[in-house]
Amino acid sequence: MKKTISIISAAACMAGFAAVPANAEGGDKVYGTMNIPYSDFYSAEIEDAYEVDAVSSATANKWKMNEAGQLVAGTYNDGEGTILGVTFPVEVDASDVDKLAKYGFAALDSKPAAYKEVSLSGDSLTVSKVIDTNGEQNVSGSATVSTSTRYGDYQLNVTGYPEETDLYGVIVNTKEGDKYALRHLENIWRAGQLAWSAGITTKEAHGNELKYDDYADSMGKTVTSVTFITLDGYTTVDVGEQYLPVKFAGEVKAEDSAAGTGKTSLTLSSFPDDYQKNISVGDGFTVTETEISYTNAMPGKYTVTVTDESGKYAPMSGDFILSTSDIPVKYSDGKLVRADGFSDEDAANFIKNIASVEVNGTAYNASGKRSVKIVGEDGTIDFAVKSGENDVFDGSGNYSLTVTAAGYSDPLKIEIKNEEAVTSTTSTATATSPASTTTAASSKAAATSKGADSPKTGTAGTTAPMTVLALACAAAFALRKKDN
């Protein structure tokens, strides 16, 4: 790994812990960090670059997570939810330092491994490509393309990218010679996940309007590599050839119907004339462009998928529900078991399709990122389960549950009295509490240790070292006085 940037300079005990001045190599060049707007950051990276805008976020806190090791590390914002660009190492003329104060310029004590040359002409800022002193790294990796994402039209999941380091910029390169600059939060996510809109999906999961104009022509292109910009410079990951299927504003709509044996209508809207349709649902289903027929279908949610046999266009899909008024389960001794007159398969299907569980008036989703697993796969109710840091069950042993499952028109309602639940609650809670405490402590420790090579120049990170140095000086003075 390349040499990281040293941020905090040594201090002299009796000199008020003064910071070492910025390194001025060559007599008039100074190194530091400064806030660089996305448009200026990418302007020299991409020939004939388009204007790369700032990015806004409707989420309450994610745009604030710009400390080292965090989600949008290395960025700066307007304090109101808009990420404006990145704070990156630069080389500037010593005479320009004062003029760069409005860009948050802060001196570094040594020449960084990677930086941008910055110059001023009046109020006009000129920013170079990254100067990578150790040379660009080219590595082999892989990628998968998804056209079904909550964050736009395309999601690219890359492996082989530089891990355990903060990303300051990402450029997607195509076989056709196009380059697409990505921004944090809207386009750059964790774990090599990248996403963007090409104009079909124009709002992301939280309701943000997605900026798509500069990505609209990515449809139908083939991604061959992705360039990641870090404090160590460039790392370009070769990902083979990843085609971006053409998307369109079409619709697949299947009507809900009754479970068992029957049929339901299917409507395919606004498909291109040259879309070669292959339509499927699953075993036991027969599909045409207008109808879905089925035999002995269990209750639940199903998906009909339409793919293009030519491979040119993106697949399309739609969900529908086959339902029943039957409730094939009942509560017994801490778990859901099959009800009289139903099979084990019927009971297992209900449990598999549980969508939510309401406990004493509070509803909890059973699937998704913030799901709470109250009912296990075997039907056992976890009386020690937590939602975040809070207990779902209050320990009283008196609970009113409403269990809702997809495909079942009526929910299962359960009343649990103290004598039925107290044994299960006590024993399970005792077994799980210590593990939860350990996990929380470990996560906090891991977050604290990340990002030691960040080019921050503020004083927040110097408190511990300065305190130790001050104590050492005080001790030395005391010993000297004692000797005297």
Q: How far apart are CA 346 and CA 332, in angstroms?
A: 16
Residue 249: CA count within 13 A, CB half-sphere: 6
Pairing of strands 82-93, 106-107: unpaired
From 175-179, 231-235, 365-369, 392-396, the region with the lowest mean pLDDT: 365-369
Cβ pair 181, 46 in contact under 8 A: yes
pLDDT category at 90 given cuts 50, 70, 90 is: very high
Residues listed for the chain: 484
Amino acid at 107: A
pLDDT tens by residue, 175-220? 999 999 999 999 999 889 999 999 999 988 777 889 999 999 999 9
Cβ pair 182, 173 in contact under 8 A: no
pLDDT tens by residue, 96-154? 999 999 999 999 999 999 999 999 988 889 999 999 999 999 999 999 999 999 889 99
pLDDT of residue 419: 61
How far is Cα of residue 307 from the mean position of the Cα atoms in its chain?
28
Q: How far apart are CA 252 and CA 314, in angstroms?
A: 13
Q: How far apart are CA 304 and CA 268, in angstroms?
A: 11
Q: For a pLDDT cut of 70, what percent of the chain falls above it?
A: 80
pLDDT category at 3 given cuts 50, 70, 90 is: very low
Q: How far apart are CA 123 and CA 102, in angstroms?
A: 11
Domains of the chain: 24-132 (no CATH), 138-243 (2.60.40), 251-323 (2.60.40.10), 329-426 (no CATH)
pLDDT of residue 7: 33
DSSP state letter for 18: P
Q: How far apart are CA 332 and CA 311, in angstroms?
A: 51
pLDDT of residue 368: 82
pLDDT tens by residue, 297-345? 999 999 999 999 999 999 999 999 999 999 999 999 999 999 999 999 9
Q: How far apart are CA 242 and CA 226, in angstroms?
A: 11
Give me Rg for the CA atoms of the chain. Answer: 29
pLDDT category at 286 given cuts 50, 70, 90 is: very high
